[in-house]
Structure 1
Amino acid sequence: MTTIGFIGLGRMGSGICRQLLEGGYAMTVFDINENNTRPFADNAAVAATVGDVLDASDVVFLSLPGSPQVEEVVEQFIARGVSGKTIVDLSTSYPLSSGKLHAQVKAAGGQFADASLTGTPMHAEQGSLIVTFGGDEETFAQCEPIILTFASRGVHHIGGPGAGNIAKLANNYLSIMYIALYSEIFPLAEKLGFDTGKLFEIIGNSGVNCAMYQSNAAKIVNKTYDPSFALDLALKDLSYVKKLFDEHQFPSFVLDGGLNLLRIGHQQGYGANDCSEMARVVRDMMGTE
């Protein structure tokens, strides 16, 4: 059976890694935080370095914060030798970076693909993520059975290098901007004296209603801000989208407003909290927080 390496055992990575182990794969794992590797020590080989993961594995999955970390690891891999190896980036990375890494790894005799994840840490634990895959057909054919171990809701080969990340960024752009809209309008309604609980109910019976509305507008109305997706991660993803607009010299009218709201949230110390805390930024400005 194919040997698997896994680098990055955070909230998403740890759930995926458990699914791969349950699928019977021989695993070598690494995380810069030793506390994250400890739960896997009985069932997987814990590597001392990322290079050791590469040496022990046919396929290496990366679950890292973003493109800078992915680029750093892949550069180390290329220097060490990637001939015959397959590297799959599960992170939400910058698409043009993914395309560049694909070319570099392929030139060095290996394969590289971006396989972005849609879902939450709970979906990772359940093995029910959705994956959009960008890369070569042969790499997809090799990786699809492995990825299905943790993506029971579907693995979609959406295009060439970078396409998986483009699909994920499009999804995240829409999701985050929905939350930005809720974060502005409900604090305003509250400031104007409306019963926002009733307003939430009324809007929930209109065409605006959707799963995103039910989960995130409720957090904002109730001021619970239950953690799901960190504000700093939302800022990172929208910054990647902004960079794509800028690379192609296109204006990004709506995006710029959402980015500014996230930047202020980061500056105010909400970065590690749920991105619905954009509403706290608005309430701060209105003097109602």
Structure 2
Amino acid sequence: MSNIAFLGLGAMGARMAARLIKSGHQVTVWNRTSAAAEALVAIGARQAATPKEAAVGADFVMAMVRDDDASRQIWLDPHTGALAGMSAGAMAIESSTLTPQWVQALGQQVTARGLAFLEAPVSGSRPQAEAGQLIYLVGGEQQVLEQAKPILMATGSAIHHVGTPGHGALTKLATNALLGIQVTALAEIIGVLQRNGADVPTVLGAIAGTSVWAPVANYLASSMVNEQFAPQFPIGLLEKDFGYAIQAAGAVEQVPTMAAARKIFQQAIAQGLGEQNMTGVVTLFKADSHA
């Protein structure tokens, strides 16, 4: 089994680290707020004070943090960054949802130090992370991916190799943009149905029997109709991903549908809904809403 450093213990990272521990790997964890590591320490993890300390002696260093800035800090800080603690032969695996530009820059920094690099963002939310059913969207060299497969499969059920570093980020941003657009479209449709006095579950059930209904729509519709907004993929994070996707497009004019959907998420954040599940945007379109 491998010695793994895991950096970032948010809702996804903590669940991924737990899966690695339960798979028999030796796991050292780090998080900006140390209390997040307590549950993992209780099941066998070692806690480090800095990313650099966590990376010392690790075969693999994995990261799951919020954005480019957090990723840059944990990897490249000259005093506490993980790269400063990594040894020859180790591999850096970045699983956060980031911009392609930063992933490419990070990969160059890693390989310039003679270390292996793989970007491995995931599709799936908290239940999939807990069950080890994440889908990896990988960018990097095939031989590097082969070395990392046993680690990735401890937390995932499928691996898609989509290209070189940066292409994984593009694939993840495209996936999340498509998801976010479906969320806003379904929220608007539910609002229309309510305003016209329709039996919403009955109408949605009929639509679900047609070819236009996407598999994820079952979950989205159920969450919206039943007002179950406990966070699995929070509104604030999906809005961030829309921003990264639009940045990758180069201009808002190139992605008008993404830009319009992002405005809905921004409106929800402005109304204090940023920590709710993404499906909480339906609140903006309820029959009694003036949005």
Same fold, judged at TM 0.5 (above): yes
Question: Are residues 1:7 and 2:26 paired?
Answer: no
Q: Deviations along 1:192-237, whole A, 9 cap, x unmatched?
A: 2222222212212222223221111222233333432100011011
- Give me the whole-angstrom Cα distance separating, in 2, the residues matched to 1:112 and 1:118: 20
- Contact conserved, 1:83 with 1:109, CA < 8 A, in 2? no
Name the residue aligned to 2:21.
Answer: 21
| Distance of 1:223 and 1:12 partners within structure 2 | 23
* 1:242 alignment partner in structure 2: 246
2:166 is equivalent to residue 166 of structure 1: no
Q: Counterparts of 1:78 and 1:23 in 2: how far apart (Å)?
A: 23
Question: Is residue 2:126 matched to residue 1:121?
Answer: yes
After TM superposition, the structure 1 = structure 2 runs for residues 129-148 of structure 1, keeping only pairs within 5 Å, are 129-148=134-153
Deviates more, 1:186-195 or 1:101-110: 186-195
Instruction: State yes or no: 1:192 paired with 2:196.
Output: yes
The 5-angstrom pairing of residues 1-289 of structure 1 reads 1-42=1-42, 43-76=44-77, 77=81, 80=84, 82=86, 84=88, 85-151=90-156, 153-246=157-250, 251-283=254-286, 286-287=289-290
Q: Counterpart amino acid of 1:39?
A: A
Give runs of ≥4 in structure 1 deviating > 4 Å: none
- The 2-side partners of 1:130 and 1:41 are apart by 26
CA contact (8 A) 1:86 1:110 kept: yes
Which deviates further from its counterpart, 53-62 or 201-210?
A: 201-210
How many residues matched? 286
TM value normalised by structure 1:
0.92
Partner letter of residue 106 of structure 1? T
Shift of 1:79: 6.7
TM-score using structure 2 length: 0.91
Cα-Cα RMSD: 2.0
**How far apart, CA to CA, are the structure 2 residues paired with 1:147 and 1:90?**
10
What letter is aligned with 2:254?
P
Q: 1:120 to 1:88 in 2, by over 3 A?
A: same
* Gaps in structure 2 of 5+ consecutive residues: none
| C-alpha separation in 2, matches of 1:283 and 1:174 | 23
> Which AA in structure 2 matches 1:150?
T
Mapped contact 1:117–1:132 kept (Cα < 8 A): yes
| Gap change, CA 1:246 and 1:276, over 3 Å in 2 | same
List alignment gaps of at least 5 residues for structure 1. none
> How far apart in 1 are the matches of 2:177 and 2:7?
26
Contact kept, 8 Å, 2:51 with 2:75, in 1: the verdict is no
With 204-213 and 12-21 compared, the bigger mean Cα shift is at 204-213
Identity %: 24
